């Protein structure tokens, strides 16, 4: 999942126009690395819970090292615990969705998260949904409906349902992280947050994996997942952090849209898995909704009572 890490990076205003090209190159690299998740899942052919567990452990190791050299306040225990739970609901269903279904449907359904984020912000924080965001939500919802109706007739809905669950959790995660950062006066250490999220997910998944006895994997599978956690999840997070100092948030949001486009491409090229017609049509609708939302001028002010 973005993957299941995209919303954890706090936006940092661009500082130097001369370094923008470097930031763009970083974001393209981030998208390419994140997009390799589907190929890793299809190649490893592991139980999705075991894959998610080992991936989180592998991602936590470099984050622990980076946290030693970073600055910021330690996040509060209550909101950090909630963040870890939500993060687990992002990464695990995402891996399961790509394992049980196509990589294309898994990544595209996870990218419904902006629509759910807007809905949750409206429900829990009284933030108005402007017309542009509402249009994006309607288009994304139509895209999901097309994917489910055309590609899953007579087939199991478990894979797409898990992909959608990951999208719901991915939509809630930025709001949880925002509240967590607010409790630290806007100075929460982002590397500690990513570290605790991955460690928390590993702690939650470990007893489940032990109960179902799915942790016994081959050496090459473990090496692949470890590399995925360190280089496909942790490394692009660091690049994303650095890129946000050079590229505006809107441009960043558009450039990382390479991920849901490239993810099924890699799987098709190296595994031969072709997305269905409904996934292609619905995916175009979801990507269109993302562009509509990402190119919005600015958010409307909150209507807190």
Of the chain, the percentage scoring pLDDT greater than 70 comes to 86
The verdict on residue 198 lying in a domain is: yes
CB 93 within 8 A of CB 152: no
Secondary structure (DSSP) of 93-159? HHHHHHHHS-HHHHHHHHTTHHHHHHHHHHHHH-B---HHHHHHHHHHHHHHHHHHHHH-TTS-SHH
* Per-residue confidence (pLDDT) for residue 243, from 0 to 100: 80
> What are the tokens at 153?
């007739």
The verdict on residue 64 lying in a domain is: yes
* Per-residue confidence (pLDDT) for residue 253, from 0 to 100: 64
Average pLDDT, the chain: 83
pTM: 0.82
The verdict on residue 85 lying in a domain is: yes
The verdict on residue 47 lying in a domain is: yes
The verdict on residue 283 lying in a domain is: yes
Query: Which of 18-22, 79-83, 250-254, 298-302 is modeled with the greatest confidence?
Result: 79-83
Q: How many CB atoms lie within 10 A of CB 239?
A: 18
Decide if pLDDT at 12 tops 50: no
Q: Beta-strand (E) ranges in the chain?
A: none
Cα 175 from chain centroid? 14
pLDDT digits (tens, 9 = 90+) for 25-80: 888 898 899 899 999 999 999 999 999 999 999 999 999 998 898 888 999 999 99
254-262 mean pLDDT: 79
* Per-residue confidence (pLDDT) for residue 301, from 0 to 100: 44
Contacts of 213 (CB under 8 A, 6+ apart): none
Query: Number of folded domains in the chain?
Result: 1
The verdict on residue 261 lying in a domain is: yes
Helix (H, G, I), strand (E, B) or coil at 303: coil
Range of the domain at 264: 6-294
Confidence band, pLDDT 50/70/90 cuts, at residue 94: very high
């Amino acid at each position: 999942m973005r993957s299941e890490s995209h919303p954890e990076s706090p936006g940092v205003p661009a500082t130097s126009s001369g370094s923008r090209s470097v930031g763009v190159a970083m974001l393209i690299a981030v998208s390419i690395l994140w997009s390799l998740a589907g190929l890793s899942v299809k190649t490893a052919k592991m139980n999705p819970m075991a894959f998610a567990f080992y991936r989180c452990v592998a991602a936590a190791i470099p984050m622990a090292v980076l946290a030693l050299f970073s600055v910021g306040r330690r996040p509060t225990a209550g909101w950090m615990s909630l963040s870890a739970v939500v993060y687990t609901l992002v990464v695990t269903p995402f891996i399961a969705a790509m394992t049980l279904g196509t990589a294309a449907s898994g990544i595209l359904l996870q990218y419904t998260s902006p629509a759910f984020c807007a809905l949750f912000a409206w429900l829990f924080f009284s933030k108005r949904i402007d017309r542009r965001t509402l249009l994006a939500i309607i288009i994304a919802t139509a895209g999901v409906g097309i994917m489910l109706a055309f590609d899953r007739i007579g087939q199991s809905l478990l894979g797409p349902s898990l992909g959608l669950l990951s999208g719901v959790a991915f939509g809630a995660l930025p709001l949880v992280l925002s509240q967590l950062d607010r409790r630290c006066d806007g100075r929460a250490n982002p590397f500690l947050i990513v570290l605790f999220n991955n460690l928390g997910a590993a702690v939650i998944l470990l007893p489940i994996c032990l109960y179902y006895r799915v942790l016994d994997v081959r050496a090459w599978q473990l090496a692949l997942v470890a590399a995925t956690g360190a280089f496909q999840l942790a490394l692009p997070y660091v690049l994303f952090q650095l890129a946000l100092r050079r590229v505006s948030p809107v441009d960043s949001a558009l450039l990382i849209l390479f991920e849901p486009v490239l993810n099924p491409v890699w799987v098709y090229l190296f595994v031969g898995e072709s997305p269905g017609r409904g996934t292609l049509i619905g995916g175009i609708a979801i990507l269109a909704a993302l562009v509509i939302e990402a190119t919005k001028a600015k958010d409307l002010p909150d209507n807190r009572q």
